[in-house]
Chains A and B, each alone.
Chain A
Amino acid sequence: MIRYASRRLLAAIPLLFVVPLLVFALIELAPGDPAVVLAGDEPTPERVEAIREELNLNAPVLVRYAMWVGDVLRGDLGTSFLSDQTVIELLTRRMATTMSLVLVAMIFAVVLGATLALVATLRSGGIVDRFVNGLASIAIAIPGFWFGLVLASVFAVGLQMFPAFGYQPLADGFWPWLSHLVLPGIALGLLPAAEVTLQLRSALGQVMKSDYVLNAEAKGLSRSSVVFKHSLKNACIPVVTVLGFRVAEVLAGSVTIEMIYNMPGLGRTAIEAVQGRDIPVLLGFVLFSTTVVVLVNLIVDISYGYFNPKVRS
């Protein structure tokens, strides 16, 4: 098991550095002098020179890339163009907001999705089942950021049930923290909630057809006992996989949600970095989000190997 896990880990590490390589290649391929382009409108010669220096633009692209990888491996992601902070400082400071948001969204997704799927299974084939299935299929097509806008417009601006914008750290108390996260969390959690519903409903449907469930039913156990005690555990495996793969999309979705709700998270940092052409911050952001996604996928992979010894070889 440990050998399997470590082999998967080693295979995952190169993935982290392919996407930044793409960014370096694009900077190289983009028309014009990259230093001038990156300096933005009406650049001062000092700024152009500073960028040339910071990105080592005088060196060939592969050398530059290798130097960046070397720095990263030593734990140095460079310094932001816009402020004098190091990229690591900036990202860690903003990380708590995004992690809180993603956490609330995922909890919302699992709780709502599992509840709907279980209700649908208990009434399988009935009108509730069809309604839940239809609702989830439609919810998948709703753009998360638009849903966020609608929620903000109706519940924060209109009904004033929640604070409209901003973020309170957990240190300021649990309720202020949570009340700022409810609407953005629901907006971000809608898509994974719909997916959990569909996946868990279909997985439960499969499991309910299996022989041991038939056996449990033949023993005269109640439907809810069959669903909760015998089916749920096995039906969870594909759901965990789907959730794992969705982390990437949830993380990406947090960018627009943070912009709508004016939350000082990683996504906002990234957009500010784009507007200010702050390449070191952007590279750090890309590396960070890819790492999170690769790590989560790795955990999913390894848990797969744990559940099913056949995939280990």
Chain B
Amino acid sequence: MSANQTPSAPAPGNDSGLAEVPAAAIGTGEPEPVAAPGILKSIVRRPATIAAGVFLLVLTFIAIFAPALAPYDPDVQNLLLRLRPPNAEHWLGTDDYGRDVLSRLIFGARVSLWAALQAAAVALVLGLPLGMIAGYRGGWVDAILTRIMDALMSAPSLVLAITIVAVLGAGITNAMLAIGLVMAPRFFRVARAGTMDVRHETYIEASIALGCSTLRIAVRHVLPNVLPPIILVISVSLGTAVAAEASLSFLGLGVQAPAASWGSMLSTASSNMRLAPYLVWPPGVMIFLAVLAFTYVGDGVRRALVRTRSGN
């Protein structure tokens, strides 16, 4: 189940996944190769996944080098230039404080991506170990943990996040903590299922008989089985987190003024809809593209996993 490359080179054009991309439907009618391609190779062969991956890399680059790339300081106000539509100096126009929209969009990428990473990290740190413990121990530990996670999942996620932010106070870190907590059950479920799959395998029983510590068994033998589907959940969760951060910041519960995130920029757009309808587009399109890209990458990982599994 590792991401190593299999030596046999698969014949070109018989990738079943490609059949669903209209332009690339070049099935040769040959039977599937016996050896399954490695996960990485399989991901790399889907054009949509590549495009999505490249987009996310570019976005990360933009986020990291935002200060060098942004034409203006995103927080500098110029009230003489309020609500100017897109023009030669300000390509995407200016907002209600005369701030450059393009610069805020670039710095917003920073906030949005970093926030998504934080939320996914919180969900991973909570869900993965608890899921492995529940799957490994079973019994009442499993019953209690599963119940709690089910309850977390049964509450509407944004409602729960809003409540947590209300208690902890508005701010991007608290908001991401809330979203991470809400997303933790996904990681829990996958980790628990993956652990239960291998719990009674001979090599685990053998390790126990050899006297390996539970921690060692968990890290060396269980974790490698749990990780591939977890990677899928991480990718999907990053997309969810970008959207959730946008919602919370839009509601004023996430990033605090004057910092820009795509969600808070939409809040500005909402209150200036009559005078500056152009403000609605840039942040919304960026959120949409980022969510779409994470979904496609996740989809690529999922297809690769299914294929590698069925191939083995």
Contact = CB atoms under 8 A, between A and B. Distances in A.
B287 A286 contact: no
A150 B280 contact: yes
A35 interface: no
A59 interface: no
Interface string A24-61: 00110010000001000000000000000000000000
Contacts of B206: none
A248 B154 contact: yes
A138 B292 CA distance: 7
Interface stretch (B81-89, B90-98, B242-250): B242-250
Chain B contact residues: helix, strand, loop or mixed: helix
B115 interface: no
Contact of A274 (B162, B246, B270, B273): B162
Contacts of A277: 166
A142 B167 CA distance: 29
A289 B292 contact: no
Contacts of B166: 273-274, 277, 279, 282
A142 B169 CA distance: 28
What is the interface residue range for chain B against chain A?
35 or more
Contacts of A143: 243, 246-247, 284, 287-288, 291
Interface stretch (B10-18, B33-41, B144-152): B144-152
B147 A14 contact: yes
A157 B288 CA distance: 23
Nearest to A293: B154
Contacts of B243: 143
Interface string B235-263: 00001000100110011110000000000
B252 to A, nearest CB: 8
A143 B270 CA distance: 14
Interface centre among B165, B247, B292 (most CB of A within 10 A): B247
Contact of B151 (A19, A27, A252): A19
B163 A256 contact: no
A226 interface: no
A23 interface: yes
Interface in A120-162: 130, 138, 140-143, 145-146, 149-150, 152-154, 157-158
14 contacts: A19-B151, A19-B154, A19-B155, A141-B239, A141-B292, A142-B288, A143-B246, A145-B250, A146-B283, A150-B284, A157-B277, A248-B157, A252-B158, A274-B170
Interface of B: 22, 147-148, 150-152, 154-160, 162-170, 239, 243, 246-247, 250-253, 266, 269-270, 273-274, 277, 280-281, 283-284, 287-288, 291-292, 295
